Structure 1
């Protein structure tokens, strides 16, 4: 059991066990007499010691020793040396018993009792624990006792976690070599899969192995905005005349712009001490980094800080960002970010020379086609993993071997799904531009086949198809440029058109951080999950999708730059019961509601439209389209104008007074 062999006893071992039983019965008889008569002499206590050395599970003997200790402490002078001698003897007896059985409940509880007397060194206890945990790292008695010991110290939970993870990782490094073991496990699971293809257990294990092959334990910085070598134009609210199409123009009423870091896994510890900024931009000392979205958690893939600038002070600034030069960035699984990265960009601060435009934003006119041969895109986005120097050789070889193996498997649903996943994994590891993206057509066809073969899981395959398509779009500058435009009426905003593509999920946003205008109309989207990372987004078209409530737009609350939103012709308000509503907690439970003018004046409407209220009140919209939804009407329009006081255009009509 538990990997411990059980061997048949030898004759001499059986004889020794029988003699031990005779001795145990003799000791127990005499011990029980002492216990009943409350005899706590040195001889009686020594007898209990011998009993516990033979049988550490004798609970009555442990309880007897507690009574004996209390009796002896009550009869001696309050001499610290005498007290220490008595308690040291108890610790010695416990340690001796644990050497006989290091999973003895009674022994561990007795040791806790001794420590509760304020005795023993915590350092000694931790050293003892290390010995027992090396014997068996699964010993939950030792882990439970460790929690008790740590609580007696001033060590923080973070420090204790760091100590434990360092120890466990060291053991893992000594005992498990993934580049050797995982390929061996692939060979092992093949025999199960090809022998009995209908048995799901082998397929599930294969999927887990694929995850282990792809997952790099240490976190990596995937992308950033601004990207390395890019140039951006900063100004106050409004428009600039003659804005260059070669640069990203960022206009802000608050005089700040977002600095975005996107990691391949959720991390914590991003702060002014772990990310340093070297720039002449004033007022950015002690920069505050925030996880996006911040759902009472201090770990996230996306971290944002806002750099201040003064638009009335035109100048050119070089900004250098160093990520991870100081330790502290740690993944949610406890691994340190150990691939420091540095990137530099240029910020051109301009004064606003024209008044802010209040004209309506059109999604059909005013666009210029992106020059596919232009090198502008290279200054906007880093399409490859920033830490590409990581060694993926054994992982690539393992994936290539699996693709070759499953490519000859007879047609089956699980076989097609596994092959699609393997090909996606292969694409994720390709760094050569010449062969990047060659598998996406096959992947998309596999998911099309699966949607036709297995209608019960249609939506899952549809979502995976959408993610694969977006990976294809963002796989190279050439493919991405086919969907890019410039909106000349608003500082040549970078617009990405992904309309009429039957998309049901959003993906690859880490490669789209530079996008300012996004057209996702005429798709099959149910939510905006993922868009919270696109902090530059100022215009978003979600018309003609399958959004059922404003709760599905909750991620947009974190996009502070958003000014134009089109959610017309969706399904908002059509369904009387919509579980996505509960993604937003009711504003009626928010103590701040009493300070809100809308809540005071129209509590009934806030209750009726609370999910819309929860999302819209955090946005700074100037243009909103909601026509074509069940919820649209005079009452809701009036409510929206109260919740979003800066709104200028609603359903194509200019607000009175503007």
Structure 2
């Protein structure tokens, strides 16, 4: 099959079967002993012989683990047991430690032959955990395990079992580090207490105290040595050296590149890293691992912390828009005035997980949070400056010392070594947001905070004039768009990049494409850069070419094309308005749009009328549809889409308080067996006109319910072939 000879495979299979036949009676006998809890040394030695030939027998590894658990009390004796004359003095913690080191050595010997056996790596980690629980290993042993992993990578640098094991050892080091740190703090507190006691006691008592301290120097030095060894360990430096070594040996190693994701900026040189990855790319442009790191370096590096997208003011409320879902701890967030005095108010959030329940309170995450002031001080101009401290929870995979120990295989070690009360808020971060009220625009409804210096540092957009003094409505809306768009661009490029550097990278990718014009990784990276620097026509051409080069991802590229067309039309809308051509409606028709998920299209926030007819839009079950975030929308056309549930649609538009006109004609909206006498949907406060022509609702109202003149507080207006729900 596939051009390979099968004879050798059959011979290997026969040899394997013969080996299994030899092992079956031995294994069955040991399983019987396991069931009777017989843990004689003779049987343990037999398991060693079997496991060296076939280490995949999990039952035998369990048998060995049960054996070590059973002998633990004999070796870890308390003081009273040691004084017992019948006690075996040869069984000491040191002897148990020796046994476990031999066990670890046996596992490492078997790993030389079976280096990708999951049972072996699991047992090796179990040995470490067993020893940690009873202080049978120290920091030196853990660091030796890291060295073992390093030596294993010389033989197989892509062994994911070893990479996984190494990550657990790193976690163990940090857990022990935390414990030793706590011990140091306690020792310092004790020393301080002793010093204070010595000063108040008589000199002879002081001498006795000093003698007692000197009587047990070994424990003090041992703790101190472990502590120092722990503090000398730098995970960032260790990861950097390992990744450097592995990449120099073989740059086609995704795991080695992934290690670089968590490195501190102080360790790496930006230019050197960029040159390293580009040299590797030009050597082998078809290696995906290289391009993945390159894209991360250009677009994500340094963006692991949450940032505010933009801020709006409306009806005495401040709205915070975030680019990602964020779990804001609203019970702790606080607002201050310019005198550092707390300002009282109430917090709310834009509901995300709807699931047919608009009052779903289980999900604490959202894209938008709002703070409503108790007093109307902002509109009265009594407060010129406010400061918010926003607290949010985030588990950051780019910070190695914040691994989620309590929820993985090390949770039992974590509970023994950590103080849960101190660790409660370890994933809580904060954002300090300072708002100059004078920089908030003056509009009819939603006013945006405009900080001219926020995005200029990356050369993304500079305001051509004073936006606050400009009376031209088109110019103001154009600047609003550019501000939100600039925020979106900034949040999607790395902190060490700007538009000028992206253009330089684009030139080098073009050079590579002259040599390898069908390299899909280079083409897609080029597309990502063009998208960020808003060269839409070129980006669309690259997507067209990608459809032919990488046809297996055709549907994905079609979705990307749709997103680009949406962005282009929004950009063109504002460009024409900025030039003085009044174009009230944003035309997004015939783009084959299937869904619009936040933050796509959020740049259209200040556009009052949007036409999305003749697409393939359906209801949004997650509550993440961007339309519900366009609070400023007045007129929405969804004619001729794939809307099948009108009730769910209205739930997903519940935030559009200013929406006056909605067109959902030429959609199903309901099933034909729907009871319209009991039919209800969310009522938007300003919505006066709903066009339901050529829908199942209209068909039912014209036939089965033709006597009906109102539906859910709306009047039914029938005229020729049109059916409208109206409050006019």
* Range class of TM-score, shorter chain: 0.5 to 0.7
Query: How far apart, in 2, do the equivalents of 1:420 and 1:114 lie?
Result: 49
Deviations 1:552-582 (A, max 9, x none): 8488256253644524234335999xxxxxx
Q: Quick one: structure 1 residues 575 and 78, their matched pair in 2 at CA, closer, same or farther if it must change by over 3 Å?
A: same
Tell me if structure 2 keeps the 8 A contact 1:440–1:472: yes
Deviations 1:95-150 (A, max 9, x none): 464367566765654676678xxx6359x778855653464383656767999999
Query: How far apart, in 2, do the equivalents of 1:292 and 1:269 lie?
Result: 13
Q: Quick one: structure 1 residues 486 and 110, their matched pair in 2 at CA, closer, same or farther if it must change by over 3 Å?
A: same
User: Mapping of 1:43-192 within 5 angstroms?
Assistant: 66-69=69-72, 86=92, 89-91=95-97, 93-95=99-101, 97-98=103-104, 101=107, 109=126, 120=134, 129=142, 132-133=145-146, 135-136=148-149, 138=162, 140=164, 171-172=238-239, 175=243, 176=260, 180-181=272-273, 184-190=276-282
Corresponding residue for residue 381 of structure 2 = 316
Corresponding residue for residue 196 of structure 2 = none
SS at structure 1 position matched to 2:309: strand
SS at structure 1 position matched to 2:697: coil
Tell me if structure 1 keeps the 8 A contact 2:563–2:600: no
The Cα of 1:424 is off from its aligned counterpart by: 4.2
**Of 142-151 and 205-214, the range deviating more from structure 2:** 142-151
The Cα of 1:402 is off from its aligned counterpart by: 0.7
Q: Quick one: structure 1 residues 348 and 374, their matched pair in 2 at CA, closer, same or farther if it must change by over 3 Å?
A: closer
Corresponding residue for residue 264 of structure 2 = none
Corresponding residue for residue 223 of structure 1 = 309
Deviations 1:42-93 (A, max 9, x none): xx99x99xx99xx9x9967776555555568999956799899845642453
Query: How far apart, in 2, do the equivalents of 1:476 and 1:442 lie?
Result: 15
Corresponding residue for residue 505 of structure 2 = 398
Deviations 1:491-525 (A, max 9, x none): xxxx6623446362647647537426341243424
Query: How far apart, in 2, do the equivalents of 1:543 and 1:338 lie?
Result: 40
Residue 324 of structure 2 is aligned to residue 214 of structure 1:
no
Corresponding residue for residue 548 of structure 1 = 643
Name the one with the larger helix percent. Answer: 2
Residue 352 of structure 2 is aligned to residue 293 of structure 1:
yes
**Of 282-291 and 78-87, the range deviating more from structure 2:** 78-87
Q: Quick one: structure 1 residues 565 and 96, their matched pair in 2 at CA, closer, same or farther if it must change by over 3 Å?
A: farther
Query: How far apart, in 1, do the equivalents of 2:563 and 2:279 lie?
Result: 29
Query: How far apart, in 2, do the equivalents of 1:541 and 1:108 lie?
Result: 59
Query: How far apart, in 2, do the equivalents of 1:315 and 1:203 lie?
Result: 58
Q: Which runs of 5+ in 2 are unaligned?
A: 1-33, 109-119, 151-161, 180-229, 244-259, 261-267, 355-361, 400-426, 446-470, 718-722
The Cα of 1:287 is off from its aligned counterpart by: 4.8
Corresponding residue for residue 526 of structure 1 = 617
The Cα of 1:541 is off from its aligned counterpart by: 1.2
Query: How far apart, in 2, do the equivalents of 1:618 and 1:293 lie?
Result: 19
User: Mapping of 1:465-504 within 5 angstroms?
Assistant: 465-473=561-569, 479=575, 481=577, 497-500=586-589, 502=591, 504=593
Tell me if structure 2 keeps the 8 A contact 1:261–1:303: yes
Q: 2:693 aligns with which of 621, 628, 638?
A: 628
User: Mapping of 1:379-458 within 5 angstroms?
Assistant: 381-385=483-487, 390-392=495-497, 396-406=503-513, 419=523, 422-428=526-532, 430=533, 437=534, 439-447=535-543
Q: Quick one: structure 1 residues 532 and 340, their matched pair in 2 at CA, closer, same or farther if it must change by over 3 Å?
A: farther
When the two structures are superposed, what TM-score results if normalisation uses the length of structure 2? 0.50
Deviations 1:446-482 (A, max 9, x none): 5567789999977654432332233335559952735
Corresponding residue for residue 568 of structure 1 = 664
Query: How far apart, in 2, do the equivalents of 1:553 and 1:312 lie?
Result: 37
Tell me if structure 1 keeps the 8 A contact 2:477–2:574: no
SS at structure 1 position matched to 2:347: coil
Tell me if structure 1 keeps the 8 A contact 2:662–2:687: no
SS at structure 2 position matched to 1:303: strand
Query: How far apart, in 2, do the equivalents of 1:106 and 1:457 lie?
Result: 41
Corresponding residue for residue 115 of structure 2 = none
Tell me if structure 2 keeps the 8 A contact 1:466–1:503: yes
Corresponding residue for residue 262 of structure 1 = 322
The Cα of 1:526 is off from its aligned counterpart by: 1.5
Tell me if structure 1 keeps the 8 A contact 2:383–2:437: yes
SS at structure 2 position matched to 1:497: strand
Query: How far apart, in 2, do the equivalents of 1:407 and 1:275 lie?
Result: 55
The Cα of 1:392 is off from its aligned counterpart by: 0.4
Tell me if structure 2 keeps the 8 A contact 1:450–1:461: yes
Query: How far apart, in 1, do the equivalents of 2:328 and 2:39 lie?
Result: 59
Tell me if structure 2 keeps the 8 A contact 1:544–1:570: yes
Q: Quick one: structure 1 residues 339 and 131, their matched pair in 2 at CA, closer, same or farther if it must change by over 3 Å?
A: farther
Structure of higher RCO (CA pairs closer than 8 Å, 6+ residues apart):
1
Query: How far apart, in 2, do the equivalents of 1:258 and 1:496 lie?
Result: 28
Tell me if structure 1 keeps the 8 A contact 2:602–2:629: no
Q: Which runs of 5+ in 1 are unaligned?
A: 1-34, 156-162, 194-200, 227-231, 235-255, 353-369, 431-436, 488-494, 577-603
Q: Quick one: structure 1 residues 477 and 64, their matched pair in 2 at CA, closer, same or farther if it must change by over 3 Å?
A: closer
Corresponding residue for residue 345 of structure 1 = 437
Query: How far apart, in 1, do the equivalents of 2:352 and 2:580 lie?
Result: 27
SS at structure 2 position matched to 1:392: coil
Q: Quick one: structure 1 residues 626 and 373, their matched pair in 2 at CA, closer, same or farther if it must change by over 3 Å?
A: closer
Tell me if structure 2 keeps the 8 A contact 1:570–1:628: yes
RMSD, aligned CA: 6.3
Q: Quick one: structure 1 residues 262 and 279, their matched pair in 2 at CA, closer, same or farther if it must change by over 3 Å?
A: farther
The Cα of 1:404 is off from its aligned counterpart by: 3.9
Tell me if structure 2 keeps the 8 A contact 1:279–1:317: no
Tell me if structure 2 keeps the 8 A contact 1:372–1:478: no
Q: 1:378 aligns with which of 458, 461, 479?
A: 479
